[in-house]
């Protein structure tokens, strides 16, 4: 019989769990913020279409933000995902 263990951890500041794939042609993963988890995706090599997408679930709704012609770095994804989550939480009733 398996045992289940629950645990918690304080989130002092946002951090990303992302991975570059296909010779850095695209990046995907999650960014953990103190408001929740943002799913991130960015694509675009030197000569391909550049695109970034953020998804954030809050109070039973999925909020999505898309950037066309813009590919953020892994560090940039953490920054914009943190701001996006904070903006949604602040705007919601």
Does 4 map to a domain? no
Whether the predicted model's global pTM rises above the 0.85 cut: no
In a domain, 26, yes or no: yes
In a domain, 8, yes or no: no
Q: What is the per-residue burial (b if ≥16 Cβ within 10 Å, else e) of 33-49?
A: bebeebbbbbbbeeeee
Going 72 to 81 to 21 to 26, the CA torsion angle's sign is negative
Residue 1 lies in a domain: no
The number of angstroms, rounded, from the C-alpha of 21 to the middle of its chain's C-alpha atoms is: 16
Tell me, yes or no, whether 6 lies in a domain: no
Question: Does a structural domain hold residue 7?
Answer: no
Q: DSSP secondary-structure letter at 25?
A: T
Tens-level pLDDT at each residue, the chain (93 residues): 889 988 887 887 888 887 777 777 788 899 999 999 999 999 887 666 889 999 999 999 999 999 998 888 889 999 999 999 999 999 987
Which domain does 68 fall in, by range? 15-88
Q: Is residue 3 part of a domain?
A: no
Q: Is residue 56 part of a domain?
A: yes
DSSP labels, 3-24: ----------S-EEEEEEETTT
Domains identified in the chain, total number: 1
């Amino acid at each position: 019989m398996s045992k289940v263990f629950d645990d918690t951890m304080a989130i002092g500041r946002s951090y990303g769990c992302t991975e570059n794939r296909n010779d850095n042609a695209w990046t995907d993963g999650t960014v953990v913020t103190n408001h929740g988890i943002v799913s991130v995706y960015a694509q675009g090599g030197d000569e391909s279409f550049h695109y970034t997408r953020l998804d954030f679930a809050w109070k039973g709704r999925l909020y999505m933000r898309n950037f066309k012609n813009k590919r953020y770095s892994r560090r940039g994804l953490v920054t914009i995902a943190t701001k996006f989550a904070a903006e949604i939480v602040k705007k919601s009733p």
